[in-house]
Each structure stands twice: as structure tokens, then as C-alpha cells.
Amino acid sequence: MNSLREAVTEYLATRRALGAPLRWVGYALLRFVSFMEQRDCCYVKTALAVEWAKQDSCGKRQELTSAQRLSFVREFAKYRLAEDPRTEIPPYGLLPYPPRRVPVLIVKGNEIQEGSNLPETDSHRVRTLREAITEYLAMRRALGFKLRIAGKGLLHFASFMEQRGAEYITVPLALEWAQKPASANTASWAKRLGFVRQFAQYRVAADPRSEIPPWNIIPYSIRRARPYLYTDEEIQRLLTAALNLPIYSSPGVLRRQTYYCLIGLLAVSGMRIGEAINLKLKGVDFDSGVLTIEGSKFGQSRLVPVHPSTQAALSDYKLFRDDYLNTRGLASDYFFTTQSGGRLDGGDVRRKFYVLSKMIGLRGNGPNTGPRIHDLRHRFAVETLLRWYRNGEDVEHKLPVLSTYLGHVKVKDTYWYLTACPELMGQAVKLVEQRWEEGQ
């Protein structure tokens, strides 16, 4: 485990590599490390962090407030916690920010003079709550976050706050908004409150009156949907059903081929549905058999190699789509296209998949009564892990490979499959027992 000083140096180097100068932050954190060394403490403790923030002036950096200095430690503590579980993250609100002050201009005759600074009032605020939300969403989207649901939620929250005549976030108002509609479950309420909490953490730097809702104010547990593992026979029946989709005119022939190829690709590649429908024509390299996924989750891109048989199926579909589009004077940058050459719509693809599932008896007539198209991705992950286990391969060391292939941001998201499938758990237990017996 790195020492506290080494960890601060590593933290600063990591953030500076991402483009953050951190001049004041770096200077303050190094002084904080010296303070902790004097206290003979090798991990971040809230009480010591507050003590340092209150008494340290950071040398010539007198303009830094104690709350700002504590915030530097807080961000470092979030980073440090993964390596040292003893780390304490100082809560928000321990040290109040002083009221912001703005210069007052006094007019005397034909002269304008700067008077004494006065506390900032509502009329002097640079941004309203709605403007701040718009700025916050733009900033996070520039970092690669889609924020489709969160964006709509926060703009609705802004309207709610305007109706209440509130100009800054308070916990009671945030809680009142989050618990709408009353018929929703606690997980939905907690999710909505989470949107406000993240924004409040951003907003408090500009408006110290902002209150940050606690994490445990709406208790709930996350329940991930149990994946449905399609059999090879069910996959084949889905593909056959795609080739038998109802058509009411000649353009319907392209629809059949599109869904046949799309479902097949999802089944053998583990791609997300959004990645497949956004796949560009230039992103399919038939020579190397590699697909280029651009701007996937969190704005990341990656390469997805596919089997020669998949290359052949994609090549056949391209010949069909090109002939169809060319004869109608159409063109498209997307690999999978609609009959008019446009991009496939995710909602429409899911609805068509429900139709196919009902055609082969996998789904009932009611909502949420059968497997999802996203379960094709789960199937790919589980089948890959099962194959590794059965072949006696070192799954623990190969798991990051699967994680990278699937485009998971965190390896723990791939580890989830080990607990989601009973057969995988059984294979893991067998492997542990085998190694235990070999060690005897």
C-alpha cells in the first residue's frame, strides 16, 4: 500500500494527466500530508482533515477558505478509499462556505466608483437554478455521459422549484419532488433524488446555501433483472421468425434481412443494442473482421473482432442492403438501415423483437412477460465464461479480456455474471474444489 504522500503524488499526477492544473489543490494537499505526518496518521481521518482545514492558511493562499481546503481532501479521499478502506471521506457541510461578495458600483455625478463589497443578493446571482442545471448537464455530457433520463428529470426539478418560488436546493423540497408520483416504488424515488444529489454537489460551490440530500434518506436496494439465457434452438427460431416478418410491400424484404442480421450479430458479439444500430458502414472492416464501435457508453470507443462466419453474414447483408438502396437512389452511413435509408430506432427494434418473441412463444401478451433483447448480451457473456470454465482456463485472469470486449467500464460489472447464473456458480465451485484437492 502506498504511503499517504505517495498516494497524493499519484492522485495529482493522474488528474493532471487529464488536463486539470491543480496548482492550489496540489499545494494544499502536500501541506495536508505534512500535517498528517506530524500527527503520525497514515490515512485520512475526518477529524484531522477538519482540524487542518481550519488552521492551515496554505501559506500565501490566504484567499482559500477552510471549506475549500476540506473539499480538496474530500476529493482525494474518494480516490484513496479504493486502496485504503480505513479512509474517511469528510461529509459535505462540515465547514460552511462564507457568503459570496460582489463589488458595488456607486454613481457620483459623471463618475462611477467602486464601493465596499456587500453580500451577494438574489439580484446579483450570476446563474439561476435552471441555468445552473443547463450548465451542469452540458459539462457532464461533454465528459461522455448521456444523461437522457437525468437531464429530463433535472429540468422537471427546475420547473418544480420555480413553482415553489425556491431559488436554491433544500432537502425537504428535493425529497418532495423525488417522491413523485406517489404510486412509484422507492427505487424510482431514490433514483430521482440521486439526480438532485449529484447536481447539488456541483451547485454548492456556486451557491453555499444549497443542501445536499443524504444518501440514506430513501432506503432501497438495487435489483438487477435476472438474465434470460437463450438456447441455441431459441436463437435459431428468432432468426427464422425474422425472415418471416409480415411484409406489406417490397420494402419489407429489407426489414427481414436487417432484423435477421441484427439479431444474429447481437447473439454472437454481445454488443449493446444501441451500439449495433449506431454501427457505421465505415466501422465494418471485412478484411480484418473487426467492428469499430464509436462513442459507446460514457463516450468510449472500442474494437470488436468477430468470427469469419459472422464476417460472411455481415458481407451478405451489405450486398443486399447496397443493392436495395442503390436501386432506389438512396444512401446511408449506417450499416443497419430502415427501408428509407435512415438509422434504426431503438424503440422500434425492441417492439419488433417482442413481435418475434411472441411468434415463437417466448413472450406472452402482457408487458414484461418474457426475455428482453438485452438478454442476448447476457447470453454471450455467460456462454463465454462457461466455455472457459469447461476448458479449465484461468477465468479470473481472463475476465478483464471479456470486460474489455463487452465495453464494461468496471470489471465488477462483468463479475456480476458469476452470481447471476446458477450454472456458472456451479462451475466456479467445481474449480475451487478441484484446486483444493490438488493442493492436498
Give per-residue pLDDT as tens, 217-253: 887 766 666 778 899 999 999 999 999 988 765 666 8
CATH of the domain at 301: 1.10.443.10
Whether 262 and 147 map to the same domain: the answer is: no
Exactly one of 197, 377, 378, 379 is catalytic; name it: 377
Give CA separation, 74 vs 16, 55, 437, in Å: 17, 17, 47
Annotation says 328 is catalytic: no
Whether 68 and 164 map to the same domain: the answer is: no
Characterise 113 by phi-psi region: left (phi > 0), alpha (psi -120 to 50), beta (else): beta
Contact residues for 390 (Cβ-Cβ < 8 A; gap 6+): 427
Query: For the chain, what is the mean pLDDT?
Result: 82
Residue 275 lies in a domain: yes
Last residue of some domain: 80, 98, 121?
Answer: 80
Annotation says 372 is catalytic: no
Give the span between the Cα atoms of 364 and 247, in whole angstroms.
23
Annotation says 272 is catalytic: yes
With a pLDDT cut of 90, the percent of the chain lying above it is 36
Last residue of some domain: 330, 359, 388?
Answer: 359
Exactly one of 15, 140, 141, 374 is catalytic; name it: 374
Residue 253 lies in a domain: yes
Whether 151 and 212 map to the same domain: the answer is: yes
Residue 347 lies in a domain: yes
Annotation says 397 is catalytic: no
Mean pLDDT of 412-425: 64
- What are the CB-based long-range contacts (under 8 Å, 24+) for 242-246? 242/356, 244/359, 245/352, 245/355, 245/356
Annotation says 374 is catalytic: yes
Whether 236 and 347 map to the same domain: the answer is: yes
Residue 123 pLDDT exceeds 80: no
Q: Using omega within 30 degrees of 0 as the cis cutoff, is the peptide bond preceding 181 cis?
A: yes
Place of cell 461529509: 91
Which domain covers residue 279, as residue numbers?
232-359
How many domains are there within the chain? 4
Residue 16 lies in a domain: yes
Q: What is the pLDDT of residue 54?
A: 85
Give CA separation, 134 vs 120, 128, 195, 242, in Å: 22, 10, 13, 42
Grid coordinates belonging to 231: 438456447
Residue 103 pLDDT exceeds 60: no
331-377 confidence digits (pLDDT tens): 999 999 998 889 999 999 999 999 999 999 988 776 566 788 998 99
Annotation says 378 is catalytic: no
- Higher-confidence residue: 410 or 282? 282
Whether 59 and 176 map to the same domain: the answer is: no
Last residue of some domain: 189, 217, 245?
Answer: 217
Place of cell 443493392: 323
Whether 403 and 302 map to the same domain: the answer is: no
Residue 120 lies in a domain: no
State the pLDDT confidence band at 268, using cuts at 50, 70 and 90.
very high
Question: What ranges in 308-393 are assigned the alpha helix state H?
Answer: 308-327, 346-359, 375-390
Apex 428 CA angle, 423 and 430, nearest 5: 95
Residue 336 lies in a domain: yes
Whether 339 and 237 map to the same domain: the answer is: yes
Whether 280 and 380 map to the same domain: the answer is: no
3-state secondary structure of 134: helix
Whether 345 and 248 map to the same domain: the answer is: yes
CB 2 within 8 A of CB 12: no
Exactly one of 191, 192, 203, 272 is catalytic; name it: 272
Residue 432 pLDDT exceeds 90: no
Quick one: how far is CA 417 from the chain centroid? Answer: 18
Residue 255 lies in a domain: yes
Residue 26 lies in a domain: yes
In 10 A of CB 370, how many CB atoms?
17
Exactly one of 100, 297, 302, 328 is catalytic; name it: 297
pTM attached to this predicted model: 0.57
